[in-house]
Chains A and B, each alone.
Chain A
Amino acid sequence: MPIALLHFALALVLSPMLLSLTHRTKAFFAGRQGAPWLQPYFELGRLLRKGAVFSTTTSWVFQVAPALGLAAAMAALTLLPFAGHRAIIAFPGDLLLFSGLLALWRFAAILAALDTGSSLEGMGASREAALSALGEPALILALGAIARQTGQLSLSGMLPALTVQTWNQAWPVLALLLVTLALVYLAENGRVPFDDPTTHLELTMIHEVMILDSSGPDLAFIEYAAALKLWILGALMAAILAPVSPLPEAPALLLALAGMAGVAIATGVTESVMARSRLNRLPKVLGTASILVAVALLLIQR
């Protein structure tokens, strides 16, 4: 338990760092120097110290949603095993609660966006709803495939059960699952090719356009929850990418953190070498993610 709590605290502290790592990677590719490493923390601190401006259209839903979203992201974090160690809470079937908490976060975000009565924010909410509805089955199916592969019923059982041995035995399965999870990760976190976090045109945004009217501490909560989500979904990939199972505590933790850094850098590389895709192609990409898992499942069956 103390180690699980330590991992929880590490996630809370380090998750904005992932953003920084991605930014720095992109800066490297663009030949820029990039923002300071602690820039995401500075921005969160700046927002937390501010007052707020609320739209006259909004109701209590708009005020409640950011805190609920952040609480849901943190609760999902309590279910997430890290560095081969079980999570704070683990039980058979916890993957559904995990995805349910992410859905609750999204439900709150969509309602807050619709609460402003803005056509732009409605647009973002609609796109977010569409992408996540298609991403959810891919995520559950991928985790279910890992459950089938390892014979474990909880996240804390199945992710640490992946070892180098598993890569030897079933590397095509793991590779397919990794691709699927990567697609879900990029879509859920609003990264290229699904969404461009640095775009400047409201019409083309997804995540950024949903929060146009948020300000002050609420905006800080939203941004921080987004950073946590990067950590949460990244950790699923890191667990496959860098299986730590037989290692002792300290090297395992280092390897896991290296895995997380790898995911963040890979995100930066993807964003540097790819353009964002057309919006109406995205559902097909996510559909492909589900099909890839189906293929992986057939391979497990073999």
Chain B
Amino acid sequence: MTWIFAAMAVWSLLGLAPLAARSARRAGDFGIAVTLLGAALAAVPVVLTLAGRPPAAFSHPWAVPYGSLAFALDGLSAFFMVPLLLLTSLGAIFGWKYWQHEDGPIGPTWLFYNLLIASMVAVLCARNGVLFLVAWETMALVSFFLVTSHAGDVEVRKAGWIYLIATHLGSVFLLPMFVTLGQAGTSLDFDHLAAPGTLAPATAAIVFVLAVLGFGSKAGFLPMHVWLPEAHPAAPSPVSAVMSGVMIKLGIYGILRVLLLLGAPAAWWGWLLVGIGLASGVFGVLMALAQHDLKRLLAYSSVENIGIIAMGIGVGIIGLASGQTLVAILGFAGALWHVVNHALFKGLLFLGAGAIQHATGTRQLDRLGGLLKTMPRTGVAVLVGSAAISGLPPLNGFASEFAIFLGALVGATTPSRSGLAGLLVVAAGLALIGGLATACFAKAFGVVFLGVPRSDAVEGAHDPGAAMLWPLGILAGTCALLGLGAPLLLPALLPAISLLTGLPAAMASAQLHFLWRSLIAVEATILILAILFFALYAVRSRWLAARPVSRAVTWDCGFGGATARMQYSSAAFAMPLISAFSAVVASHGEVTGLSALFPREGSWSGHSGDIFKAALSRGFGALQRILRRFRRLQNGNLQVYVLYIALTMLVLLVWKLGI
């Protein structure tokens, strides 16, 4: 644990250094040095733990009631640390140059960035309820300040408040959850909570539901996802990458941790997660498809991927509850793996969106186009990310979805357990989500990078400098590597999986071998695909080299007056699917100016609202009307507040001492 403490000290104490820096450039130098130094320190125990070292633990009495200052690093924590350290480091390298062009001081941004890393590591290592909640709240507050970096913008402030409220609503459920667990045990230390499996089924169910609500609001489960599409676009790109790639995954971590604390799960917990996952996945990707703002699109796609992860955990729980360990292992393996994969490709895409915004000054899809010619390297990286997030072979997104799919298929074909046939829902859900994601990211990449520029924003765009390009390249390379080298990476999943399934490592490893064999066969097919592709491409290029090849305009039916604005827009591309799903995506367009028989100018504006956001804001409106009556108590008069304090203490004294 010493390494982790050293890293946390670096991030939080040395993290103050950028505040003292004179220039933006110097602040960036300090900031990135702190991030990378801390990450290097923390990486040591993470690698050791994943390699099979027994978990490290630290416990010390402290003045805070209900337990001790307890930290530990086990297989599950270490596994989540991998994407955390990787993505925050790459985000810092990207931000190093990205933030230099900001107006206003960037010292605080760097401080909060490093504090965010420290608090996320603290969440992963905390082994005491109070400590966990403190770290959790620190993470929420620090990220709130990062989201509101551009607080001068009214939209950003609004997004910040939505985020703050959403995250605190989540915490409301976590407090009673820990209290319920602690009441059955001796203290709030995770080791002294109710022993796994000893809680009454009803109590365990309450704890689980509270965990799903509390952690789910951070992860972005439907319908608590509404903050994501607000906060992610508002935050600077490196922060969006870290929040979407890593921070929301801590909600997933929380659910898994609570599962460990609870012991043997009930089957309906799994079905609940499968249902939530399916709803989040389909709704998330449909809303992503409907967006015109690149970062909002990416934010909704995070809801989709969280849904896929939830389905994987659901499959795992169902497998555990029905005694099908292979199903459980495949489900958990796919879910954990997708956590890493989503961190990689979503981090890549958010940083790519940052590079695009940096180069063109806009995130509106319909103002972009043809960027592949002016930003070729960014384009290749974003193309890899788009294919990976669509779950296409041979990239990493396919590998993790394959594991979840295989788990569902194995469960559904188990002859004796007919109830598990319902797992085919997961298989079909993954296919639907995959198809919609392919449409969504083909649209995003196609509209931004292909065709011709739709506005003059694209003029003079160019690839960013090396410091911003390298993180994109590394992330794209890792996406490809984790797809092609998928079988080699299974051992890294083993410590976490053996914890989650309660199987000894040797047994879990033997079961994982089943997945390993399938993945080897996948890679063999990919090899055939690669050989065929290169052969076909070489033959065709050779033929064309010896033949007349000419260039002409794109076929326009002989019209001759085609303009860039006549290209298919993002709204037009998405229209058939959006109108097919009009029941869940409230999309409406407005045409103005086309009135007379020969109209000259017209305009169309489209908007896709989030039905859940509308419903929630109606709910909040009603709540506000009720609570308005209590406003009289909050009159802003200091003397009255002191009176409240005195009265409260008096009541407590009377109650406690029984006077």
Per the 8 Å Cβ criterion, residues 257-276 of B in contact with A are: none
Cα distance A97–B398 in the bound complex, in angstroms: 8
Cα distance A92–B427 in the bound complex, in angstroms: 14
Per-residue A-contact encoding for B446-482, CB less than 8 Å = 1, 0 else: 1100111000000000000000000000000000000
> What is the minimal beta-carbon distance from B444 to any residue of chain A, in angstroms?
11
Cα distance A93–B432 in the bound complex, in angstroms: 17
Q: Report whether B540 and A218 are in contact in the complex, using a CB–CB cutoff of 8 Å.
A: yes
Per-residue B-contact encoding for A214-229, CB less than 8 Å = 1, 0 else: 0011100100000000
B316 contacts chain A at the CB level, 8 A cutoff: no
Minimum CB distance partner of B522 in chain A:
A97
Q: Report whether A59 and B533 are in contact in the complex, using a CB–CB cutoff of 8 Å.
A: no
Which chain B positions have C-beta within 8 A of A202? 557
Q: Report whether A129 and B518 are in contact in the complex, using a CB–CB cutoff of 8 Å.
A: no
> What is the minimal beta-carbon distance from B348 to any residue of chain A, in angstroms?
17
A56 contacts chain B at the CB level, 8 A cutoff: yes
Which chain B positions have C-beta within 8 A of A79? 525
We find that the number of chain A residues with CB closer than 8 angstroms to chain B is: 88
- A117 with B567, Cβ < 8 A, contacts A103-B434, A212-B555, A213-B554 known: yes
> What is the minimal beta-carbon distance from A128 to any residue of chain B, in angstroms?
9
Per the 8 Å Cβ criterion, residues 539-566 of B in contact with A are: 539-540, 543-544, 547-557, 562, 564, 566
Minimum CB distance partner of A66 in chain B:
B540
> What is the minimal beta-carbon distance from B369 to any residue of chain A, in angstroms?
7
Cα distance A106–B574 in the bound complex, in angstroms: 16
Cα distance A14–B405 in the bound complex, in angstroms: 33
Q: Is the interface of A mostly helix, strand, loop or mixed?
A: helix
Q: Report whether A139 and B431 are in contact in the complex, using a CB–CB cutoff of 8 Å.
A: yes
Across the interface, B568 reaches (CB within 8 A) one of A95, A114, A134, A287, namely A114
Q: Which of A18-26, A70-78, A237-245, A255-263 contacts B (4 or more CB under 8 A)?
A: A70-78
Q: Which of A27-35, A147-155, A165-173 contacts B (4 or more CB under 8 A)?
A: A147-155
Q: Report whether B568 and A133 are in contact in the complex, using a CB–CB cutoff of 8 Å.
A: no
We find that the number of chain B residues with CB closer than 8 angstroms to chain A is: 85
Cα distance A55–B452 in the bound complex, in angstroms: 12
Per-residue A-contact encoding for B471-504, CB less than 8 Å = 1, 0 else: 0000000000000000000000000000000000
Per the 8 Å Cβ criterion, residues 97-122 of A in contact with B are: 97, 99-101, 103-104, 106-107, 110-111, 114-122
- A115 with B451, Cβ < 8 A, contacts A75-B525, A137-B432 known: yes
Q: Report whether B452 and A126 are in contact in the complex, using a CB–CB cutoff of 8 Å.
A: no
Which chain B positions have C-beta within 8 A of A51? 544, 547-550
> What is the minimal beta-carbon distance from A277 to any residue of chain B, in angstroms?
14
Q: Report whether A126 and B575 are in contact in the complex, using a CB–CB cutoff of 8 Å.
A: yes
Cα distance A135–B432 in the bound complex, in angstroms: 8
A279 contacts chain B at the CB level, 8 A cutoff: yes
Q: Report whether A129 and B438 are in contact in the complex, using a CB–CB cutoff of 8 Å.
A: yes
B572 contacts chain A at the CB level, 8 A cutoff: yes
> What is the minimal beta-carbon distance from A143 to any residue of chain B, in angstroms?
9
9 A-B pairs closest in CB distance = A122-B568, A114-B446, A133-B435, A117-B451, A91-B521, A283-B580, A51-B547, A129-B439, A71-B533
A15 contacts chain B at the CB level, 8 A cutoff: no
Minimum CB distance partner of B393 in chain A:
A100
Which chain A positions have C-beta within 8 A of B562? 118-119
> What is the minimal beta-carbon distance from B620 to any residue of chain A, in angstroms?
34
Across the interface, A118 reaches (CB within 8 A) one of B413, B540, B556, namely B556
Q: Report whether A140 and B428 are in contact in the complex, using a CB–CB cutoff of 8 Å.
A: yes
- A91 with B568, Cβ < 8 A, contacts A71-B536, A101-B529 known: no
Cα distance A66–B525 in the bound complex, in angstroms: 19
21 residue pairs A–B, Cβ–Cβ below 8 Å: A55-B555, A61-B383, A61-B450, A71-B530, A75-B525, A89-B521, A89-B525, A91-B522, A94-B518, A94-B521, A100-B392, A101-B393, A103-B438, A118-B554, A118-B556, A122-B572, A125-B573, A129-B442, A132-B439, A139-B431, A147-B413
Q: Report whether A55 and B551 are in contact in the complex, using a CB–CB cutoff of 8 Å.
A: yes
A232 contacts chain B at the CB level, 8 A cutoff: no
Cα distance A51–B552 in the bound complex, in angstroms: 13
Which chain B positions have C-beta within 8 A of A117? 369-370, 450-452, 554, 564, 567
Q: Report whether B392 and A126 are in contact in the complex, using a CB–CB cutoff of 8 Å.
A: no
Which chain B positions have C-beta within 8 A of A129? 438-439, 442-443, 573, 576-577
Minimum CB distance partner of A96 in chain B:
B405
Across the interface, A137 reaches (CB within 8 A) one of B372, B393, B431, namely B431
A136 contacts chain B at the CB level, 8 A cutoff: yes
B101 contacts chain A at the CB level, 8 A cutoff: no
A230 contacts chain B at the CB level, 8 A cutoff: no
Q: Report whether B572 and A52 are in contact in the complex, using a CB–CB cutoff of 8 Å.
A: no
Q: Report whether A114 and B522 are in contact in the complex, using a CB–CB cutoff of 8 Å.
A: no
Q: Is the interface of B mostly helix, strand, loop or mixed?
A: helix
> What is the minimal beta-carbon distance from B212 to any residue of chain A, in angstroms?
26
B402 contacts chain A at the CB level, 8 A cutoff: yes
> What is the minimal beta-carbon distance from A215 to any residue of chain B, in angstroms?
9
Q: Report whether B413 and A57 are in contact in the complex, using a CB–CB cutoff of 8 Å.
A: no
Binding site for B on A (CB under 8 A): 48, 50-59, 61, 64, 66-68, 70-72, 74-75, 78-79, 89-97, 99-101, 103-104, 106-107, 110-111, 114-123, 125-127, 129-130, 132-137, 139-141, 144-145, 147-148, 151-153, 202, 212-213, 216-218, 221, 279-280, 283-284, 287, 290, 297, 300-301
Which chain A positions have C-beta within 8 A of B135? none
Cα distance A50–B418 in the bound complex, in angstroms: 57
B312 contacts chain A at the CB level, 8 A cutoff: no
> What is the minimal beta-carbon distance from A157 to any residue of chain B, in angstroms?
10
Cα distance A53–B548 in the bound complex, in angstroms: 8
Q: Report whether B413 and A53 are in contact in the complex, using a CB–CB cutoff of 8 Å.
A: no
Cα distance A122–B454 in the bound complex, in angstroms: 14
> What is the minimal beta-carbon distance from A240 to any residue of chain B, in angstroms?
18
> What is the minimal beta-carbon distance from B227 to any residue of chain A, in angstroms?
27
Cα distance A51–B541 in the bound complex, in angstroms: 11
Which chain A positions have C-beta within 8 A of B409? 92-93, 95, 144, 147, 153
Q: Report whether B552 and A107 are in contact in the complex, using a CB–CB cutoff of 8 Å.
A: no
Cα distance A79–B553 in the bound complex, in angstroms: 40
Minimum CB distance partner of B435 in chain A:
A133
In the complex, given contacts A78-B525, A92-B514, A140-B431, what are 16 additional A-B residue pairs having Cβ atoms less than 8 angstroms apart?
Answer: A57-B554, A59-B372, A75-B526, A79-B525, A89-B524, A90-B521, A100-B393, A104-B387, A114-B568, A120-B555, A120-B557, A122-B572, A123-B572, A132-B435, A137-B435, A212-B555
Which chain B positions have C-beta within 8 A of A68? 533, 537
B390 contacts chain A at the CB level, 8 A cutoff: yes
Cα distance A218–B539 in the bound complex, in angstroms: 11
Q: Report whether A72 and B424 are in contact in the complex, using a CB–CB cutoff of 8 Å.
A: no
Which chain B positions have C-beta within 8 A of A126? 443, 568, 572-576
- A136 with B548, Cβ < 8 A, contacts A75-B529, A126-B568 known: no
Q: Report whether A136 and B544 are in contact in the complex, using a CB–CB cutoff of 8 Å.
A: no
Minimum CB distance partner of B401 in chain A:
A96
Cα distance A118–B392 in the bound complex, in angstroms: 25
Which chain B positions have C-beta within 8 A of A148? 412-413, 421, 424
Cα distance A97–B572 in the bound complex, in angstroms: 30
Across the interface, B445 reaches (CB within 8 A) one of A57, A74, A111, A151, namely A111
Across the interface, A52 reaches (CB within 8 A) one of B436, B450, B517, B547, namely B547
> What is the minimal beta-carbon distance from B383 to any residue of chain A, in angstroms?
8
Which chain A positions have C-beta within 8 A of B557? 120, 202
Which chain A positions have C-beta within 8 A of B525? 75, 78-79, 89, 94, 97, 101
- A72 with B428, Cβ < 8 A, contacts A53-B550, A55-B552, A107-B442 known: no
